[in-house]
Structure 1
């Protein structure tokens, strides 16, 4: 989607993403700067890639944590962000923003950049291209820039898959282009008002036909020194030092052995516990999770049995979920501030650190 500033829409944006469980999120015109942390955009479950402009413009690609991905260098003269995704086949996912009446040199840069991938990888090119005057059936344009972009599509074997308006004024500006049509299915262009994101562009959703990776739990191991058996650990270390280190003459070998013995002692005499990372932000209440389950059920119902009644129930549930999520986040943050003011509770600092890492 072209979001036209994400900063003042973070709560609505997060609610939208978490309620749909998207694997990939691509946004243009984020208007982000370094004042906003990655974890403020999406607190959990996503790797965030950014190309900020410091003012208007900029793009974000978010990839679910259980999908292996890495950012690739993109041309510096284009507002472009590229991520390589490791699925059963390599996927090159690009998001682009072209200004209105773009310079032909920008379009030629896009073309030459994509050419390196088109023989060996699946390409999905997304974004706001600001080229309303292209006839996609005949691949012809009425301006020099539009004709140049048609040439880019032809040279890189790209098909354009959006066939309806993506803007409130009736233009098709936001596009999906790919060199493998079989990859993409179930395209939907949504009226942005239904998603509670105020923008003059509509949001586009679609499915990729890859086999979905198995979800993996993000598990971290915490060591509790306060419950350690220090007597047993000291005894183990001292005996091991005498046996293994006393007669070593090399300093580096001795130091490596000392580190190894201490590590073994920690593993043996200090208790550990595995902690699973939370799927949702801290403000996601139990009631909100219940609403989310109901919302997913209604979506499945409407998908299996499309009807006006099911659509109406789904729209109402989505609207209520948006309102509840905004209230839950506001209430959680207000409680943090109130508790700190009344008792110097430090929970507010833990919450802030969850953004700043």
Structure 2
């Protein structure tokens, strides 16, 4: 096994987990006899008879906080909790002759581990050899042909999957024509592909599951305002712009320009802005506490409990019933908010290593436009037939388009505005640039350079000077800086030219 893993690792593949069933191990075999470099071992051996047993290798970088195992001499199973990756991974072995009672106790043990140790935002992976070939995974029904114990165990597994919202990911046979080895998961977005391949180690095929993330290298999601190296970490709503303007007025744009090449000037100027702002603008404060709606519900619930206590002392049964219903309704709303918060937090935590999950979560809140169900025809009658609906829409769309071949069609008449001669270089002044900046909305998104609109507007008088310097030198030299910061400067300059055209007609 170690050589197989090493071979796959050299080919660029890495297995965060390796689950093995029917290990045939006994207690006198130590974990030191089962080493795979870079992995830790968790196992559950069958103690009362030969055969059976399960084993789970996991990357050493994934610490295990809790391990629970089950062995009744028939079925075996183990569950590991990986808090750093928020994962529960379980391995199960159910022999073909296992009774319903033994299998049910094993599933109960796994369910207890889920409910005790795995929060709602944990991902569940349950794999192993179930030996239940008579489940139709297309319809989730138990086919005839098996023993009564096998059929009942199959139905028990389907009920277990329904309880914990699990899906079976293996859709190809793993032994002969039967799917005996399964992978159950509560988040199918984490599984990109499932493949099987024969192996000399067993008469069962080896199941390879390709995950959409690597649990061994998870990184904590970090809000952009916590990045201290950009403008977004600063709270410009609390900035002292009079002080900022004093500092900016002391910056010599020409000296900054002469300190390097023209191409380097935009980036240097942006860096200078960042340095000044990081010293003079307060940092954003991470949000703390509960949302306003949650606090409102909490206060209302507290008041209702005070009224309920008073009504109880007065013995007012009708009032008590009414207040209890109100408290129950508030508690229900709190539970809904808590559930939504957990889902949102889960999506945010996965945005880096599993963006598909985040965007699927966001898409679930989008509004879906419904198809047109009824329209009024020319006789003011409701129409529901699809063909008639299509004809009405076609008639309406056709009525708003002109026929280009119609002899009555004439060219539109309007006054042609004055056009600036391309051969004439526009005369741009810092005042025009400042006027163009003033027309930017305060809540406009920043450009590629990241300069906030509020900073540009509040400090337009000082920032318009380097923009003018850029424009003037660019027009005289014919050189356009390649820095992305130029995009913003050029936009303001062109806007200023538009303002000049409108005011002077040139």
TM-score in terms of structure 1 length: 0.51
- Name the CA distance, whole Å, in 2 between partners of 1:176 and 1:137: 15
**Residue 179 to residue 114, structure 1, CA distance change in 2 (3 Å):** farther
Alignment-derived partner of residue 127 in structure 2? 126
Alignment-derived partner of residue 109 in structure 1? 105
Of 190, 197, 203, 2:197 maps to 190
- Name the CA distance, whole Å, in 1 between partners of 2:217 and 2:155: 43
Alignment-derived partner of residue 60 in structure 2? 65
1:68 alignment partner, SS class = coil
- Name the CA distance, whole Å, in 1 between partners of 2:198 and 2:123: 29
- Name the CA distance, whole Å, in 2 between partners of 1:212 and 1:108: 30
Alignment-derived partner of residue 4 in structure 2? 16
- Name the CA distance, whole Å, in 1 between partners of 2:155 and 2:193: 29
- Name the CA distance, whole Å, in 1 between partners of 2:215 and 2:56: 18
Is the Cα–Cα contact under 8 Å of residues 162 and 176 in structure 1 kept in the other structure? yes
Alignment-derived partner of residue 78 in structure 2? 81
Of 30, 33, 51, 1:37 maps to 30
Of 20, 26, 46, 2:19 maps to 26
**Residue 35 to residue 18, structure 1, CA distance change in 2 (3 Å):** farther
Hey, which bits of structure 1, 4+ residues long, moved more than 6 A?
Answer: none
Shift of residue 60 of structure 1?
0.8
Shift of residue 76 of structure 1?
4.1
Shift of residue 107 of structure 1?
3.4
Shift of residue 166 of structure 1?
0.2
Q: Any residues of structure 2 matched to 1:293-308 within 5 Å, and which?
A: none
1:182 alignment partner, SS class = helix
- Name the CA distance, whole Å, in 2 between partners of 1:127 and 1:66: 23
Tell me how many residue pairs correspond in the alignment.
197
1:112 alignment partner, SS class = helix
Shift of residue 72 of structure 1?
1.9
Alignment-derived partner of residue 48 in structure 1? 41
Shift of residue 211 of structure 1?
4.5
**Residue 43 to residue 204, structure 1, CA distance change in 2 (3 Å):** closer
Of 128, 150, 158, 1:150 maps to 158
- Please, which runs of 5 or more residues in structure 1 have no aligned partner? 1-12, 216-357
- Name the CA distance, whole Å, in 2 between partners of 1:74 and 1:35: 18
Cα deviations by residue, 1:261-300 (Å, 9 ceiling, x for unpaired) = xxxxxxxxxxxxxxxxxxxxxxxxxxxxxxxxxxxxxxxx
Alignment-derived partner of residue 175 in structure 1? 182
Shift of residue 37 of structure 1?
2.7
Alignment-derived partner of residue 142 in structure 2? 141
Shift of residue 203 of structure 1?
0.3
- Name the CA distance, whole Å, in 1 between partners of 2:46 and 2:98: 17
Larger deviation, residues 28-37 vs 129-138? 28-37
- Please, which runs of 5 or more residues in structure 2 have no aligned partner? 10-14, 144-150, 219-506
Cα deviations by residue, 1:181-202 (Å, 9 ceiling, x for unpaired) = 112222111122xxxx331000
Is the Cα–Cα contact under 8 Å of residues 189 and 202 in structure 1 kept in the other structure? yes
- Name the CA distance, whole Å, in 2 between partners of 1:146 and 1:212: 31
Alignment-derived partner of residue 490 in structure 2? none
Is the Cα–Cα contact under 8 Å of residues 87 and 210 in structure 1 kept in the other structure? no
Cα deviations by residue, 1:156-191 (Å, 9 ceiling, x for unpaired) = 211001111101x22110000011111222211112
**Residue 127 to residue 152, structure 1, CA distance change in 2 (3 Å):** same
Of 202, 218, 242, 1:199 maps to 202
Is the Cα–Cα contact under 8 Å of residues 107 and 152 in structure 1 kept in the other structure? no
Shift of residue 74 of structure 1?
3.1
**Residue 198 to residue 111, structure 1, CA distance change in 2 (3 Å):** closer
